[in-house]
Amino acid sequence: MVVHSPAEVAARAAGSADLVALDAGVVDCFACPRLVAWREEVAATRRAAFRDQVYWGRPVPGFGVPDARIAILGLAPAAHGGNRTGRIFTGDRSGDVLFAALHRAGLANQPTSVSADDGLALHDLRIFASVRCAPPDNKPTPVERDTCAPWLWRELELIKPTVRVVVALGAFAWAAWWPAMSRVYGGAPPSPRPAFGHGAHWTSPDGGYPHLLGCYHVSQQNTFTGRLTPAMLDDIFARAKELARGA
Ligand code: SF4
CATH number at residue 177: 3.40.470.10
pLDDT at 132: 98
Q: Which residues line ligand 1 (CB under 6 A)?
A: 9, 26, 29-32, 35-36, 59, 131-133, 144, 147-148, 151
Q: Please tell me the predicted confidence (pLDDT) of residue 93.
A: 92
pTM: 0.96
Whether residue 204 is contained in a domain is answered as yes
Q: Write the burial class of residue 158 (CB in 10 Å: 0-12 exposed, 13-18 middle, 19+ buried).
A: buried
Long-range contacts formed by 106-109: CB under 8 A, 24+ apart = 106/241, 107/70, 107/237, 107/241
Position 78 scores a pLDDT of 94
Q: Look at ligand 1, atom 8, and give the residue with the nearest C-alpha.
A: 29
In a domain, 217, yes or no: yes
| Exposure letters 95-112 (e unless 16+ CB within 10 A, then b) | bbbbbbbbbebebbeeee
pLDDT number for residue 187: 86
Residue 113 sits in which domain range?
6-245
Whether residue 1 lies inside any domain: the answer is no
Element containing residue 232 per DSSP (H, E) = helix 230-244
Would you state the pLDDT for residue 153?
97
Split into its structural domains, the chain has a count of: 1
pLDDT at 124: 97
Cα separation, 15 vs 82, in Å, equals 25
Give pLDDT < 50 ranges for the chain: none
Residue 129 lies in a domain: yes
